[in-house]
Amino acid sequence: MSQNPQSSGVSGEYYLRGQIARELATAVGTDHVSTDSSDLQAQASDWSWMSKYFQYKDLPQPSADFVVRPRTTEEVERVVEIASDYKVPITPRGGGSGTQGGTFAPYGGIALDLARMTDIIEIDEESLVATVQTGIDGPKLEEELNKKGLTLAHYPGSYHLGATIGGFIAARGSGVVSTKYGKAEDQVLQLEVVVAPGKTVKTLPVPSHAAGSDLLQTFVGSEGTLGVITEASMRVDPLPETRSFLSFSFPNIFAGIEAGRQIMANRLRPSVIRLYDEADSLKLKDWVGTSFTGTLMVVVCDGDQELVDYEVKAITALVEKSEGTSLGPDLGEVWWDGKYEPYARGKLPQPPLLYGTFDTVARFSAIPKIYRARKELIETEFAEYGARYTAHLSHWYDWGAMIYDRFYVDEAPSDPAEALALHDRLWDAGVLTAINNGGTVNDHHGVGVKLGRFMRPQYGHGFELMRSLKKAWDPDGIMNPGKLGFGPPTNSRW
Ligand SMILES: Cc1cc2nc3c(=O)[nH]c(=O)nc-3n(C[C@H](O)[C@H](O)[C@H](O)COP(=O)(O)OP(=O)(O)OC[C@H]3O[C@@H](n4cnc5c(N)ncnc54)[C@H](O)[C@@H]3O)c2cc1C
């Protein structure tokens, strides 16, 4: 759409743009609507490699035409109503800490910044439930909960990068203590969502019921493509009385995977199990200061003293039976204290380095195959680029685990088209290897624009059902178009 009345004459489009801006300003207040280009770029940006690369190369990111900052659910309703009237896309933004280009606005429209929606509505100490507006970030909510002896127990690596409760839920997030406390989808109990054409729906007060299929979980993970999540009730937990740390070495990663499987199959519940391969243990040493390199497992047990003592004993016995050697508590403690350090010390990878994190989840029976296949693929098929591979497993379930493995190419090709193509080829290779070996697109980073093309191979005909649902709930396709593989808006003239 043309921005300049001089270059296009005061066209119908220019007038329409002004009209939309005026309606949006009436909805949320003039101060909370912006068309400033740096504001639009900032709203589009996230922590995806693509976003960092566009910024590094001084290239524009796919951005919206308006930034709108509502304060209340009623204001969000009005904004969605306006967007529906004019068939203008809406891209919600929480903290912009996502890694999949979820805040890119490839079809323009409205960037809906939820940063003003930060109220804590209620902390129900009897039921252990906190109800909040979804623009609140993790640390702010955690601080209030801690005052009452409670915790959200959701600490992602992006904890200090502004990640919000809405983002946790919208992209199925996971924190470092998820093995005991669950992912965002396990912690969320009730949602309030504004859907097209500007109506608010509330799911049931509890997640467990027999009143038909699960509306709550249909919105969880929908990344803004079905509606804007404005309010969430989250399960909270008592702050643990104590925390104990363990660490073990193994002759190889497969022995470590088996030890982790034993812990989970025996239904023990440490809050953390992190198993690093040799290459990743080197990175950990550099980033956090752990002194050991090799195959390393860090375990954290928390809760009351009696429970922790029991788990420490039981886990140590199981791991030592599975070729693990105890290294004492120190490495675990160093890891726990330093877990956000790389972010604080600016050690995160950035262009011209080319990098990507697959976070595949699979059953135990598939995990070793995926690790072997992906490591070999990255190190051999991309050997001409000097591609490197590192892996750790950090979220464990009764039935399987997540592999957080990364590729690195030290210097991306200088031509942007070539760099982006190499990036996508690495992703194609890695994700299809997972899917073909019984794994999934990913575990907790969401899909965004980056991984949308894998939804069809992942789900087969199931993806057509998802598309039908999307079409029925959002007939004009204005809710975060281009994400989750759903493509452009259908009837938009934008
Ligand atoms: C260094 C680093 C470490 C990370 N570590 C982890 C980790 O340990 N665990 C983990 O799960 N993730 C991790 N992430 C990824 C990211 O932080 C999470 O996905 C986080 O939950 C995103 O929250 P956000 O508020 O920043 O969302 P955003 O980036 O703002 O948005 C993500 C997606 O959700 C949509 N969205 C956001 N809010 C809403 C809403 N209220 N309603 C509807 N749609 C919405 C957006 O449109 C977008 O599609 C990491 C990222 C980085 C950069």
Q: What's the token pair of residue 199?
A: 């109506």
The mean pLDDT of 71-87, rounded to a whole number, is: 97
Buried b (16+ CB within 10 A) or exposed e, 252-280: ebebbbbbbbbbbeeebbbbbbbbbbebb
CA-CA distance, 170 to 225, in Å (whole number)?
9
When mean pLDDT is compared across 1-10, 430-439, 443-452, the lowest value belongs to 1-10
The mean pLDDT of 266-286, rounded to a whole number, is: 97
Per-residue pLDDT at 9: 57
At 14, the pLDDT band (50, 70, 90 cuts) reads: confident
Higher model confidence: residue 20 or residue 340? Answer: 20
Q: Does residue 407 belong to any structural domain of this protein?
A: yes
Ligand 1 atom at minimal distance to the Cα of residue 156: 8
Does one domain contain both 214 and 125?
yes
Ligand 1 atom at minimal distance to the Cα of residue 114: 41
At 464, the pLDDT band (50, 70, 90 cuts) reads: very high
Q: Does residue 57 belong to any structural domain of this protein?
A: no
Q: From atom 35 of ligand 1, which residue's Cα is the shortest distance away?
A: 223
CATH number, domain of 371, equals 3.30.300.330
* Residue of 69, 79, 93 best suited for mutating to test ligand 1, as the one with most atoms within 8 Å of CB: 93
Omega within 30 of 0 (cis) for the link into 475: no
Residue 167 Cα to ligand 1 midpoint, Å, equals 4
Per-residue pLDDT for 7 more than 90?
no
The mean pLDDT of 163-186, rounded to a whole number, is: 98
Where a domain ends, among 445, 464, 479?
A: 445
Q: What's the token pair of residue 283?
A: 């990175």
Per-residue pLDDT for 5 more than 80?
no
Q: From atom 14 of ligand 1, which residue's Cα is the shortest distance away?
A: 158
Q: Does residue 425 belong to any structural domain of this protein?
A: yes
At 387, the pLDDT band (50, 70, 90 cuts) reads: very high
Q: Does residue 376 belong to any structural domain of this protein?
A: yes
CB distance 46 to ligand 1 below 6 Å: yes
Per-residue pLDDT for 304 more than 80?
yes
Query: Are the beta carbons of 105 and 111 closer than 8 angstroms?
Result: yes
The mean pLDDT of 146-159, rounded to a whole number, is: 97
CA 61 to each of CA 99, 107, 108, 111, 450: distance values in angstroms, whole numbers, following the listed order? 14, 12, 11, 13, 14
Per-residue pLDDT at 2: 40
CA-CA distance, 163 to 357, in Å (whole number)?
18
Q: Does residue 313 belong to any structural domain of this protein?
A: yes
Does one domain contain both 337 and 271?
yes
**Helical (H) or strand (E) element with 111:** strand 110-113
* Residue-number span of the structural domain to which 176 is assigned: 120-238
Per-residue pLDDT for 494 more than 70?
no
Does one domain contain both 161 and 268?
no
Does one domain contain both 137 and 210?
yes
At 276, the pLDDT band (50, 70, 90 cuts) reads: very high
Does one domain contain both 371 and 402?
yes
Q: From atom 21 of ligand 1, which residue's Cα is the shortest distance away?
A: 168
The pTM of this model reads: 0.96
Query: Are the beta carbons of 131 and 202 closer than 8 angstroms?
Result: no
Does one domain contain both 270 and 223?
no
CB distance 114 to ligand 1 below 6 Å: yes
Per-residue pLDDT for 4 more than 70?
no
Per-residue pLDDT for 421 more than 80?
yes
Residue 95 Cα to ligand 1 midpoint, Å, equals 7
CA-CA distance, 39 to 103, in Å (whole number)?
13
**Helical (H) or strand (E) element with 124:** strand 120-124
Domain count, the chain: 3
The helix/strand/coil state of 5 is helix
Where a domain ends, among 238, 272, 299?
A: 238
Quick: pLDDT tens for 210-255: 999 999 999 999 999 999 999 999 999 999 999 999 999 999 999 9
Mean pLDDT of all residues in the chain?
96
Does one domain contain both 145 and 222?
yes
CA-CA distance, 331 to 337, in Å (whole number)?
10
CB distance 287 to ligand 1 below 6 Å: no
Does one domain contain both 230 and 246?
no
Q: Does residue 21 belong to any structural domain of this protein?
A: no
Does one domain contain both 221 and 270?
no
Q: Does residue 338 belong to any structural domain of this protein?
A: yes
CATH number, domain of 207, equals 3.30.465.10
- DSSP-derived letter for residue 30 is G
Q: Does residue 263 belong to any structural domain of this protein?
A: yes
Does one domain contain both 336 and 250?
yes
Per-residue pLDDT at 347: 80
Where a domain ends, among 343, 366, 387?
A: 343
CATH number, domain of 317, equals 3.30.70.3450
Q: What's the token pair of residue 109?
A: 């429209």
Per-residue pLDDT at 8: 52
Does one domain contain both 272 and 302?
yes
Per-residue pLDDT for 344 more than 90?
no
Question: What residues contact residue 255 under an 8 Å CB cut-off, 6+ apart?
Answer: 295, 322, 323, 324
CB distance 167 to ligand 1 below 6 Å: yes
Does one domain contain both 229 and 143?
yes
CB distance 482 to ligand 1 below 6 Å: no
Quick: pLDDT tens for 349-373: 999 999 999 999 999 999 999 999 9
